[in-house]
Chain A
């Protein structure tokens, strides 16, 4: 048996680069940086991270090879490379936002975990085999649990980590149970082969158990209601850069892999969630999750006093919108999903970046943002962009994302407008969400500040936040920049 290691290695170069960067970050920190001031250390380590990630991104930009390891354990095609590039970009942003905060002295460990989490996401994106999916998911989750607990001075960080860990463990158990039942029913681990085996067997009741279990497991991961209970506490308690990473990077990877499992593995078992012609399958399950997420997320966000918590509930709601993209079960819906989660991730990292800055001057309460426009005009402007984008106001990326998802959902049911009920619900709830996003902006622009000191921002953080705001505006005005790439990758892959 001759196994082609060289080919596997050349396909996995980006992942290798990221993992090596992770080791390097730890090593550099241990050997050279121990005695420097914390902020310098973070900046330097963030630079190391950025260099590593950028070279991986550049490599993926240059090489256009496709690869498929036996049994689809590792699949490389233009689509996976695009998503990996997005994830790495998000990692870089997170790294630079960390410069602003000082929640730990163990920076080498922080960056190695951050990078290994991204490596986990990359493996996850490239996996089309349930074994590899589970392993990569665990690598990602375990890194995130530790990152959540990173602030050892704070009890809330420990509480958040414990909750996240327990719910994550539960969800992993569900996922594993579902996946092993699927293996039991089909005897295959490769998603394509599973779909082929299932083609004539969809009436097997065990398969539905497996399907529901898998969806529940991933429902926990993407924090879709009613499996969202961990999210607010975990988002609020963990260090803000980590929160942004959970909300952004992990979400992109999880949604991508959920879509891939459902589209590839459960192809032919879609069912129909239409208003009058219900057919059992995975779309009705997802439709319920989406509807609940949209309602619960938006309504619960209204009464929040903490901005991190507010963003957590808004993340649940946005998860609901994103699920609409999966519900369409076609290529266009898939493209809309990727566009949606990417723009959402960019926005939410920016928003959490602002929160991380403000946190240094008090806390993350809404009242701590009072009069921010006078204390930090640039940051406030950026926050306005992010909030309006999250609410879905026209020239911004958030608007186009929602628009794209909704239209693809409606077009699917062109014959019967089957998903129209869900789209109408989502739009209505979207209008509700405007209220609490404007609450934040009201604090920033209208209410007077009690504390008049100017907010000072570390240069790299400021740069990243402004860049993100510009990206949100540009992607909103010229959505084709990203959509074109996604569609091209889809047609190639």
Chain B
């Protein structure tokens, strides 16, 4: 029974495909998986927007949307209809073709990235040998789209927003990728399903073998999440769209359906990167405890995904926006060195496996954590040092 529930979607797909002639089956299988992913995440996008607004409302001591439907739950549907029926305004000076292509260029790679992720046991739409690399490769196309949107609008706010966004994305892509390297080193593969498999099993038959429970995994997870926040342009790294400074950044000249596409693509990007974090650090679809293994694998995956997204919303509601110089200093002077040190620590962890005496497991944990904690302390202090004592306002006195 539990096995059947676990493989529910896989069997469903096989059953549907079996109606077709033999030759068309692989193609149909791929199409089915893709449409399932698109459908699932479109729904999730709707749920997330309303949840985000509700939770932010709670954090800011207000109610949030509560007019449309019971508890305001139909708000996304209303928003969607509004977006689709709005007039699509293209600025006169804009480069029409590029302006039109930008949201398309954004949504396709994001969808491709979503196809890489293992959602459950045997539930990977595209299983590539170099899956994680492919994930980052298609992810880099988002920078292109941001540039296209910002440049083609012929609007100074758009251009400034695009420049900020690209500078930020390039800076944070480095720690993002480097923090995954330690996982790849320990798993010995670039394939995402295999990385999940490497995290299955339990220590002492009870503790999960997830990467996040090792010193390098914990550090990597934190680094990854910070970089991922910046990559998806979310608060406190939302300078490219800082409303109070540059209207809406590169989205300024977008309206109607194109804006909705952008909006959805940004959330999909968030899902993709959170899904990657779950896969790499939180054990993917593995259950946290052996006695909970009866719950279907995909349920675990989406539960973890939901938790991470809740974390994102929480951070957004809590932290103020960074200044541009703080943003850059943080990436280059803190995250980058820390992620490099983390790789070294991973190697230490790997090679200290040979020690088998009693308490060796605990000792290497403490040792590796120390090697990470000391540079963390000093790098953090150095980051604060350059702060000007008094800020001089040139134009706003």
A and B touch in the complex (CB under 8 A): no
Residue positions of B touching A, CB distance < 8 A: none
Residues of A with Cβ closer than 8 Å to B?
Answer: none
